[in-house]
Amino acid sequence: MEKNNLDSLRHSCAHLLAKSVLEIWPGSHNAIGPAIENGFYQDFDMGEVKLTEDSLSRIEQKMREIVKTWKNFEIKEVSLDEAKKLFKHNPYKVELAEEFAGEGKKLTTNNPGNFLDLCKMGHVDNPKENLKHFKLLSIAGAYWRGNEKNKMLTRIYGIVFPSKEELDKYLWQQEEGKKRDHKKLGKALGLYLIDEKVGQGLIIWKPNGAIIRRQMEEFIMKEQLKRRYKIVYSPHIGKKQLWVTSGHWDLYRDKMYSPMKIDDVEYMVKPMNCPMHMMVYQSDPHSYRDLPLRISENASVYRYEQAGELSGMARGRHFTQDDSHIFCTEEQVTSEFINVMDYAFYFLKAFGIKDYYMQLSVRDLEKKDKYLGSDEVWENAENKIKEAVKTKKVPFKIKEGEAAFYGPKLDFMIKDALGREWQCGTIQIDFSLPERFKLEYIDEKGKIKRPVVIHRAIAGSLERFFAILVEHYAGAFPLWLSPVQVAILPISEKFLEPAQKVKDELEKNNIRVELNADNKSLGGKIRQSTLQKVPFMIIIGEKEVQRSKIKDQKEEELFITIRTREGKDLGMMEVKKFIDQIKSQIENFS
């Protein structure tokens, strides 16, 4: 269903919710009930009545009764005086009518048969047939007009779809999402923590999470070196003037922290690495033979986010970018852009991400003062991105107003387990910063020219990408990423010695292994390792020890029984064979 039609469906269901609540609790007032991104809500002044989550099923039942009586929404235009008379019992509607009239807007009422309301949005044609597949989700408080000086109203959220299948899929997705929530799994699996004593939005990686991060960073480093990137490191702070020169101070200030004074000079914690990397280029003379110059850095940056925008690792105030800047000639831009796209496709495939699409993020043409550079510069950059995408034959969407302030970009929009979209990887073309930092190279004719800069981050924020991976895999990471790849579970203390020998063999082969020496039953140990999502469990007891034997008094054959986290019994095998198999899986993960 197209967005406009879906909005009409959602908004119509908000009317149905309003009628049902007013009928159950006479004397209550409905305020506003818009369609929103994931459904709809309706605000109510309930007087002395306190609604709870238990009230929702009663309201839903009433909605199903009422909708059977509804016909087409009858729309009428009314004057302000008429509106005030019709809704004199509802102060919220009167206030809205006065506001709309003061702005010169038409006032309209609608009525599906037995519920007159003041409304200007679209509605479905046949509510009796269209409003069948809905669900009320939750109750919250909300100040009238979003102003804390106004009365607190009761807000009821709901969802509606054209078909039962779509509703069932959404509800299943929500339940599955709760199980996969990276904030919940992050705590259960010991991956990271956010502590109020440290600060909101500031993430500490715990040992298990740090292992996964290290695997990600090693993969990134290996692939970038293969693609002839040069690695740099830069400080976390720099003089404010750097970000004045880059344009961040004027156009990105709301995401930057306040300056700090050091020796009477103002410094900033960096929100971006761009100025630092401009300095790297500027520090040496360059000719066309040096280009493209690809420099990269896994670097921490700091951005101010409102408390309400924070969401675990998906959105914090401190995160790490796999950041890179490619300095090239204008003739090299398209080929370099394509090379980055190829790397991005390979990267996402290696991490098992398939549900994503390309978004060409361009300027808001109504707010050109928010961006650097002329129309000609922007059109040139946009055309080069389109040329690269066309060459790769990949579809893309255009999103106005999402460009970086210095240039358009191609964003990789990844869908998480809940169907939410996150911008992770990005590739940006920039003609402005080379000009602002006076970057130069000597062309083949000996003339001084400006390079073009391609900004790129493939994972984007390592923290956000990690959160998506946690939810994508529901915490059951593929073998190569798993913090603990093998858990050794001796049946009793009697078998600790052979269990330690097996552990030593696995560690010699760089396999991440833990020995569970707790005085618990085997069933308890299996349950513990399963909850921790350990890919393989090795069980050692009497029959494994009896099967093991000494060969020529030098080499011992160690036998083990293997079980997977999915509960599959792989039977008994010799340790060396298991090591060969698991190493092959780790090395050939992509």
Mean pLDDT of 388-417: 83
Query: Do 399 and 448 fall within a single domain?
Result: yes
Query: Do 552 and 404 fall within a single domain?
Result: no
Whether residue 241 is predicted with pLDDT greater than 80 in this model: the reply is yes
- The answer to whether residue 253 sits within a structural domain is no
pLDDT digits (tens, 9 = 90+) for 117-156: 998 768 888 898 999 999 999 999 999 988 888 999 999 9
Domain extent, residue 149, equals 3-162
Query: Do 452 and 516 fall within a single domain?
Result: no
Residues at the binding site for Zn(2+) are 274, 325, 455
Provide the pLDDT for residue 367. 83
Residue 573 amino acid letter: M
Between the alpha carbon of residue 352 and those of residues 81, 465, 560, the distances in Å are: 61, 12, 30
Q: Which of 269-283, 476-490, 538-552 has the lowest mean pLDDT?
A: 538-552
Query: Do 277 and 310 fall within a single domain?
Result: yes
For the beta sheet containing 396-400, the strands, ordered from the edge strand earlier in sequence to the opposite edge, are: 230-231, 293-302, 318-328, 452-461, 421-430, 409-415, 356-362, 396-400
Query: Do 7 and 122 fall within a single domain?
Result: yes
Whether residue 589 is predicted with pLDDT greater than 90 in this model: the reply is no
Q: Which residues are catalytically annotated? A: 274, 303, 321, 323, 325, 409, 455
Whether residue 346 is predicted with pLDDT greater than 90 in this model: the reply is yes
Query: Do 567 and 498 fall within a single domain?
Result: yes
The 3-state secondary structure of 196-213, one letter per residue: CCCCCCCCEECHHHHHHH
Query: Do 467 and 542 fall within a single domain?
Result: no
CATH number, domain of 51, equals 3.30.980.10
Mean pLDDT of 233-259: 92
- The answer to whether residue 246 sits within a structural domain is no
The 3-state secondary structure of 320-341, one letter per residue: EEEEEEEEECHHHHHHHHHHHH
Whether residue 553 is predicted with pLDDT greater than 50 in this model: the reply is no
- The answer to whether residue 251 sits within a structural domain is no
Query: Do 516 and 440 fall within a single domain?
Result: no
User: What is the pTM assigned to this prediction?
Assistant: 0.78
Give the confidence band of 461 by pLDDT, cuts at 50, 70, 90. Answer: very high
Query: Do 104 and 33 fall within a single domain?
Result: yes
Q: Please check whether residue 472 is in contact with residue 523, taking contact to mean a CB–CB distance below 8 angstroms.
A: no
Query: Do 106 and 11 fall within a single domain?
Result: yes
Overall number of domains in the chain: 3
Give the confidence band of 3 by pLDDT, cuts at 50, 70, 90. Answer: low
Q: Report whether the peptide linkage leading into residue 292 is cis, meaning its omega lies within 30 degrees of zero.
A: yes
- With a pLDDT cut of 70, the percent of the chain lying above it is 97
Mean pLDDT of 45-63: 93
- The answer to whether residue 169 sits within a structural domain is no
Whether residue 550 is predicted with pLDDT greater than 60 in this model: the reply is no
Decide: residue 20, CB within 10 A, 0-12 exposed, 13-18 middle, 19+ buried: buried
- The answer to whether residue 179 sits within a structural domain is no
Structural domain ending residue among the three candidates 146, 162, 178: 162
Euclidean distance between CA atoms 42 and 371, whole angstroms: 38
Whether residue 454 is predicted with pLDDT greater than 50 in this model: the reply is yes
Q: Which of 77-86, 169-178, 283-292, 327-336 has the lowest mean pLDDT?
A: 169-178
- The answer to whether residue 11 sits within a structural domain is yes
pLDDT digits (tens, 9 = 90+) for 249-290: 988 888 999 999 999 999 999 999 999 999 999 999 999 999
- The answer to whether residue 177 sits within a structural domain is no
Mean pLDDT of 415-436: 84
Whether residue 552 is predicted with pLDDT greater than 90 in this model: the reply is no
Provide the pLDDT for residue 326. 97
CATH number, domain of 515, equals 3.40.50.800
Query: Do 538 and 570 fall within a single domain?
Result: yes
Query: Do 437 and 369 fall within a single domain?
Result: yes
CA-wise closest residue to 475 among 231, 174, 90, 186: 186
Residue 462 amino acid letter: L
Whether residue 186 is predicted with pLDDT greater than 80 in this model: the reply is yes
Whether residue 530 is predicted with pLDDT greater than 80 in this model: the reply is yes
- Tell me what the pLDDT averaged over the chain comes to: 90
Residues at the binding site are 274, 325, 455
- The answer to whether residue 249 sits within a structural domain is no
Provide the pLDDT for residue 4. 64
